[in-house]
Structure 1
Amino acid sequence: MTPTHPRHPRHPTPKTHPLRLRAFRLLFTGRVLSLLGDGVVPAALVIAVTRVTADVSALAFVLGCATVPRLLLLPLGGVIADRFDARRVALTTDLVRCVAQLAVGAELLGVLGGSPALLHIAVAEAVGGAASAFAMPAQSPLVAGTVPASADGEARRRANALMGMANSATRLCGPGLAAALIWAAGPGPAFVLDAASFAVSAALLAAVRIERVPLPQASVLTDLKEGWREVRSRDWYWTSLVAHGTWNGAAAVLTTLGPAVVISRLGGEGVWFWVLEAGAIGLVLGSLPAARLRPRRPVLVANLGLATYALPLALLAVAAPAPLLIAAYGLAMGALGFLNPVWETVVQQQVPPGALARVTSYDWLLSLAATPVGYALAPPAAAAWGSAAPLGACAALVAIACVATAAVPGVREVGASAPGEPAASTSTPAGTTGSAGKPGPQAT
């Protein structure tokens, strides 16, 4: 994927709302549908595997099959999305994921005959996970390619905020829809619904037209090295990546240890449900102001906001009253909801279009890698020292990592321009040194 310009309309005004642009409208609609389908699948997958086998290790095996290929292939996914048309990459991966989820649905519904086989489900999820490694880096170039750049970045800021709101809203509605589907017809139809959402998304992407400028021919290894140089040459980007990776690892620890603390000491399963609901609502509410607010130092403000995740971690460590924990978790997830679209906008402004997917893939790679580390370390740490120790340690790490980015010149300077003026760019050619941007933590 390379510098892109929407063809519908060819010369939009800088103040055009992104939903007035046909290309972005099609992209956004497909994204909402596929996100809604994906929101249904996690609960359906747990129920499906549990019905096939009661072995907990079987669920871990299936989840690993979906995660490991994605993690291994993400850098290559970034190269492919930059090297080829990101629209075609996204369309192809939508079709592959459609087939994979349809295969799981057919297996669970007994369409192929016989009882559902765990191995078949695992293989289909592995194929879907591999496809997502190519789809995820293509997302940011697609937004940049369907929404024109402007001096103040307003159109792309609104576009990314809309994407963030869609992601948050589907995370809020997905579990409820999953519960209704599973109760009415079982987990199989949930996978069929997800497959249908990918099919519609692919059809909509087929109608999107964006122009691109071919990149010079180079090997995959060269492309990977150039993408890494783009990351390394921007001090605001790679230091923020460290903070965001720390956030994701801590989020995995909270997800692993939090339920036990809440259920045993803070009031039971209902309280944990309200904690999760507060987080989902916070994500939605946090993404709303991202469309209109224009902080002079967007990366600095967003990173400092992420430091609020230390609050629910610390409150869990001391088993603070449930209302405090619920409010703190909602606040922390609201900060994440604000960061993601703000971060995406800065990255799209600062990173050369021809390297955008590769730079984004390194962000996803660190985020996905940090999460299983948190999952793996939390149980033994809690067994050795109790839950309070790892939760408290994670609270301190998140606060330090996020606040410490304020000491980085690029974090304070990138995007620091008055509305209407060109954004301060710290991007430099590959192979030189300087500072510049990134996409935010990926909520678990």
Structure 2
Amino acid sequence: MTHPLRSRGFRLLFIGRTISSVGDAVVPAALAIAVTRATGSAAALATVLGCAMLPRLVLLPIGGVAADRWDARRVALTTDLVRCLCQLLIGLDLLGSRPSMVQLALASAVGGAASAFAMPTRLPLVAGTVDEAGRLTANALTGSATSLIQLCGPAVAGALIYGVGAGWAFVLDAASFLVSAVLLTRVRVRRTPVARRTVLADLAEGWAEVRSRDWYWSSLVAHSVWNGAAAVLATLGPLVAARRLGGDGAWLATLEAGAVGLTVGSLLAGRLTPRRPVLVGNLVLATYALPLVLLALTAPVPLLVTGYAVAMGSLGFLNPVWQTAVQQHIPAAVLARVSSYDWLLSLAATPVGYALTPVAAAAWGDSAPLLIAAVLVAGCCLGTAAVPGVRRISTGAAAGAAEHGGAGAAGVVAPAAPTGIGR
């Protein structure tokens, strides 16, 4: 097997994504600090974040149609340029003396809309630049690089914010999108022509492909529950750490351990080839119940740190394994549309978790929502083993026959692992 990095197309794509990830890793912290400094209001920050999330959720299925109907490379290139402009405008606004919340919200909305068209292109771009035998390695390389960058992101963000100002973090992100766009102009991607029909017909065809595969839709349910559980942990984790585990340092150590675990899991995925990738990936994903239970029981910090590292390592392993299975078993002509539904369900679960967690904690205490989330994520992830298609999907030459043993599938990211999982 030829290593994916020996392919010029994937090499340019990998470099562009890696550079773009550098900018993306520093922006969340920079945005939070910049908006709270300017307004002193959590509601203002929530408004800006909501302006980015809403168009992303609404337009994701349309983004999948666009990526399938037109060249995924051109769609990705266009969205990189749009996001470059949006981040540059935000950066320049923050560098001024009085940032405009209206401008920040508008730029965030346009950037969110652009990301809805960009995310479904990720799986087709890899599938179109790497032969089938090298896709697991390619997906694992991309996941490992992104994980390493996320590990360093908060430190880079802090240096920029306190050294030269939060606006420069957005300027850096704009530059990373520009570099990615330039590199995409040099990439050649194989694509499958798609018959031109109405947008509604294209959306219906994509959903029919999802619904016809029991292994796919059942896994999406489990992955969506995972994202909701992650929102529960993200909401209550800092609070429980500050009140019962000795302070913020305990939570920061937990997050750092998770970033390390994510990286290690991605690296392992590139070296291991499970015969039943979807089954194994979903089973290991159930380990996310560990940190939820440990936090609910106020376990010692070393145990919590270890549990979270294991859980995130499982996610790091699942993502490239799932992406590769999807690229292998979903027809190329509908890959972006199917991927967009993956992203949509995963992203939609996160705000639901954020909204319900404070209500549940106020009614029953902090431990109850954590334990409920643990039961749900473990039950749903382990429960996929009861689905025939999940058990039958395999790697290698037998893959096609295995899939057809499922729920009447006709033909195969988020996130593999849920294209949107953990994002």
Instruction: Tell me the TM-score range normalised by the shorter chain.
Output: over 0.9
- Hey, what does 1:7 align to over in structure 2? none
1:134-213 maps to which residues of 2 (within 5 A)?
134-149=117-132, 153=133, 155-213=134-192
Encode CA deviations 1:50-85: one digit per residue, 9 max, x unaligned.
122001100000010111110110000000000000
- Hey, what does 1:99 align to over in structure 2? 85
1: distance between equivalents of 2:64 and 2:253? 37
User: Does the 8 Å contact 2:331/2:412 carry over to 1?
Assistant: no
1: distance between equivalents of 2:52 and 2:155? 23
Q: Which amino acid aligns with 2:366?
A: S
1:33-52 maps to which residues of 2 (within 5 A)?
33-52=19-38
Distance 1:127 1:258, change over 3 A: same
1:216-365 maps to which residues of 2 (within 5 A)?
216-365=195-344
1: distance between equivalents of 2:410 and 2:384? 13
- Hey, what does 2:399 align to over in structure 1? 423
2: distance between equivalents of 1:424 and 1:160? 21
User: Does the 8 Å contact 2:55/2:113 carry over to 1?
Assistant: yes
Alignment length (residue pairs): 417
Identity of aligned residues (%): 64
Q: TM-score, normalised by structure 1?
A: 0.92
Encode CA deviations 1:108-143: one digit per residue, 9 max, x unaligned.
112xxx621111011111111110000000000000
Distance 1:84 1:425, change over 3 A: farther
1: distance between equivalents of 2:84 and 2:196? 32
Distance 1:80 1:330, change over 3 A: same
- Hey, what does 2:417 align to over in structure 1? 440
User: Does the 8 Å contact 1:426/1:436 carry over to 2?
Assistant: no
- Partner SS, residue 288 of structure 1: helix
2: distance between equivalents of 1:203 and 1:346? 30
1: distance between equivalents of 2:67 and 2:115? 12
Query: Out of 118, 129, 142, which is 2:101 matched to?
Result: 118
User: Does the 8 Å contact 1:66/1:129 carry over to 2?
Assistant: yes
User: Does the 8 Å contact 1:279/1:330 carry over to 2?
Assistant: yes
User: Does the 8 Å contact 1:231/1:238 carry over to 2?
Assistant: yes
Distance 1:396 1:213, change over 3 A: closer
- Hey, what does 2:76 align to over in structure 1? 90
Q: TM-score, normalised by structure 2?
A: 0.96
Q: Which amino acid aligns with 2:294?
A: L
The more displaced of 286-295 and 131-140 is: 286-295
User: Does the 8 Å contact 2:86/2:110 carry over to 1?
Assistant: yes
Distance 1:343 1:437, change over 3 A: farther
Distance 1:207 1:416, change over 3 A: closer
2: distance between equivalents of 1:299 and 1:242? 13
Q: Which amino acid aligns with 2:127?
A: A
Q: Which amino acid aligns with 1:276?
A: L
Q: Which amino acid aligns with 1:433?
A: G
Q: Which amino acid aligns with 2:388?
A: P
Encode CA deviations 1:238-275: one digit per residue, 9 max, x unaligned.
00000000000000000001111111101110010000
Distance 1:283 1:395, change over 3 A: same
- Hey, what does 1:411 align to over in structure 2? 390
Shift of 1:214: 2.1
2: distance between equivalents of 1:353 and 1:214? 9
1: distance between equivalents of 2:269 and 2:195? 36
2: distance between equivalents of 1:134 and 1:273? 33
Encode CA deviations 1:364-398: one digit per residue, 9 max, x unaligned.
00000000000000001000000111100110001
Which structure is higher in helix share?
A: 2
